[in-house]
Amino acid sequence: MNHVEKLDAVDNQGVSISKNNALQEGGGAEGFYTVTCFDKDGNLKWKEEMHNLVVTTGKNLILNTVFTGSSYTAAWYMGLVEGATTPTYALTDTMASHPGWTESTSYSAATRPAPSWGTSTADSISTTATAFSINATDTIAGAFMTTNSTKGGTTGTLYSAGNFTAGSRSVQNGDTLNVTWTGTV
């Protein structure tokens, strides 16, 4: 008896290479404020961290100075947002027109304080704490950053603004608010 086995072996190999020609990198201007409140004796009363809205005028200032400017030195100032009502922010807010919120001027400095800047690292930059010496009983809801030092002023470029996550906070004469801003790209 003859037994014949037949084997048809077919090796099937394939290699597929694909290439993505659409390089994408995300980016955007964003940041957050950290605010601490100390009473007149230096005791911590509360601390807030909040994300901010970078408004259109702030984004345009960055684009126009970084990409098209030849020499530009920015001067930045911090401000406080009044919290008697719940503030709202819009991309279209400017220093001349921000109908959803009001600036608080319940601090002793004659002008908005200027933050000191650190060195950018790992796609971010932070300010050191900017101090507001509170000189009246008030309710504060958040903070903002602008290019004009005039306390209560309506000129300059608004960069960003944001509310406390826990809602408005009470401050009293003698309190100190320390505001730090960190931005990332």
pLDDT tens per residue across span 172-184 = 999 999 999 998 8
Task: Compute the half-sphere exposure of residue 112: CA atoms within 13 Å on the CB side of its CA.
Answer: 27
Calculate the average pLDDT of the chain. Answer: 86
> pTM (2 decimals)?
0.81
Mean pLDDT of 77-86: 94
pLDDT more than 90, % of the chain: 60
125 Cα distance to chain centroid: 10
Task: Report how far Cα 109 is from the mean position of its chain's Cα atoms.
Answer: 23
Report d(CA 99, CA 3) in Å as an integer: 95
What integer pLDDT is reported at residue 85 of this predicted model? Answer: 87
Distance CA 78, CA 180 (A): 9
Q: How many CB atoms lie within 10 A of CB 173?
A: 13
Answer whether residue 22 shows pLDDT above 70: no
Collapsing DSSP to helix, strand or coil, 56 comes out as: helix
| Cα R_g (the chain), whole angstroms | 27
In which band, very low, low, confident or very high, does the pLDDT at 16 lie, cut at 50, 70 and 90? Answer: very low
Amino acid 11: pLDDT? 47
SS3 for 60?
Answer: helix
Hey, is 62 helix, strand or coil?
Answer: helix
- Give the amino acid at 47: K
Q: Is 101 exposed, middle or buried (0-12, 13-18, 19+ CB in 10 A)?
A: buried
Instruction: Give 3-state DSSP helix, strand, coil % of the chain, rounded to 5.
Output: 5, 35, 55
Q: How far apart are CA 155 and CA 80, in angstroms?
A: 16
